[in-house]
A and B are shown apart, each in its own frame.
Chain A
Amino acid sequence: MTGVMALRMAPLSARIGLAIVALYLFCLLFAPLVAPYGETEIVGGPWAGGFWDPAAEGPATLLGTDHLGRDVLSRLIYGARNSITLALLTTTLSFLTGTILGLLAAVRGGVVDQVLGRLVDLVMAFPTLIFALLVLAVAGSTLPVLIGVIALLDATRVFRIARAAAMDVAAQDFVEVARLRGEGTGWIMRREILPNIVVPLAAEFGLRFCFVFLFIATLSFIGLGIQPPTADWGSMVRENAAAISFGILMPLFPAGAIALLTIGINLVIDWAAAGHHGVSDER
Chain B
Amino acid sequence: MTNHGYPDRRSLLLGAGALGAAQLLPSRAFAQAPKRGGAFRVGISDFATSDSLDPTLVETQFSQHLQWQLRNNLVEAGPGGKLVPELAESWEGSKDAKTWTFKLRKGVTFHDGKSLTPADVVHSFNTHRRDGSKSMTKPILAQIATVKADGPDAIVFELVDGNVGFPALTSSVGLVIIPDGDTDYRRGMGTGGYILEQFEPGVRSRVKRNPNYWKAGRGNFDTVEMICIKDATARANALLTGQIDAYNAVDPRTVALLERNSAVRINRVKSKAHFAFPMMVDQAPFASNDVRLAMKYAIDREEIVKRVLGGFGSPGNDHPLSAAYEFYDGSIPQRAYDPDKAKFHLAKAGEANLRVQLHVSETPFAGATDAAVLFKAHAAKAGITVDVAKEPEDGYWSSVWNKKPLCTSRWSGRINDDVLLTLGYSDTGTKAGWNETRINNPRLNTIVAEARKEFDTGKRRALYSEAQRIIHDEGGSNIFAFADFLDATSRKLAFGELAGDWMLDGCRASERWWFA
Contact = CB atoms under 8 A, between A and B. Distances in A.
A and B in contact, CB less than 8 Å: yes
Interface of A: 42, 46-47, 67-68, 136-137, 140-141, 223, 227-229, 241-243, 245-246, 248
B390 A137 contact: no
A246 B253 CA distance: 12
A244 to B, nearest CB: 8
B393 A223 contact: yes
B373 A245 contact: no
Interface stretch (B230-238, B421-429, B469-477): B230-238
10 contacts: A46-B253, A67-B253, A137-B392, A223-B393, A242-B233, A242-B253, A243-B257, A245-B233, A245-B240, A246-B257
A48 to B, nearest CB: 11
A242 B370 contact: no
A220 to B, nearest CB: 11
B484 to A, nearest CB: 17
B148 interface: no
Contacts of A248: 257
Contact of B254 (A68, A228, A246): A246
Interface in B215-238: 232-233, 236-237
Contacts of B257: 47, 243, 246, 248
A67 B232 CA distance: 14
A103 B260 CA distance: 59
Given A46-B253, A228-B373, A245-B236, A223 B362 contact: yes
B236 A242 contact: yes
A227 B260 CA distance: 32
A55 B307 CA distance: 24
Contact of B392 (A46, A140, A228, A246): A140
A137 B256 CA distance: 35
Nearest to A247: B257
A141 B362 CA distance: 13
What 8 pairs across the A-B complex have the smallest Cβ distances?
A246-B257, A242-B233, A67-B253, A137-B392, A137-B394, A245-B237, A223-B393, A242-B254
Contact of A242 (B232, B256, B394): B232
A140 B392 CA distance: 6
Nearest to B231: A221
B437 interface: no
B369 interface: yes
A154 B444 CA distance: 58
**Of A136, A223, A241, A243, which is in contact with the most chain B CB atoms at under 10 Å from its CB?**
A223
Contacts of B258: 246
Nearest to A66: B253
B8 interface: no
Contacts of B237: 245
Nearest to A68: B307
B89 interface: no
B120 interface: no
B369 A242 contact: no
Contact of A228 (B236, B253, B256, B369): B369
A92 B233 CA distance: 35
B251 interface: yes
Interface in B351-384: 362, 369-370, 373
Given A242-B254, A243-B257, A227 B233 contact: no
Given A47-B257, A242-B236, A245-B240, 7 more contacts: A141-B390, A227-B390, A229-B373, A242-B254, A245-B236, A245-B237, A246-B257
A42 B370 CA distance: 14
Contacts of A223: 362, 393
B393 A229 contact: no
A42 B390 CA distance: 23
Contacts of A245: 233, 236-237, 240
Nearest to B236: A245
**Of B237, B251, B253, which is in contact with the most chain A CB atoms at under 10 Å from its CB?**
B253
A140 B390 CA distance: 8
Interface in B241-257: 251, 253-254, 256-257
A129 B208 CA distance: 38
Given A140-B392, A141-B390, A227-B390, A242 B251 contact: yes
Given A243-B257, A246-B257, A227 B369 contact: yes
Nearest to A223: B393
B147 to A, nearest CB: 43
B154 to A, nearest CB: 50
A42 B369 CA distance: 17
B370 A229 contact: yes
Nearest to B392: A137
Interface in B400-419: none
B486 to A, nearest CB: 14
A154 B447 CA distance: 61
Contacts of B392: 136-137, 140-141
Contacts of B240: 245
A81 to B, nearest CB: 19
A228 B308 CA distance: 13
Contacts of A229: 370, 373
A47 B393 CA distance: 28
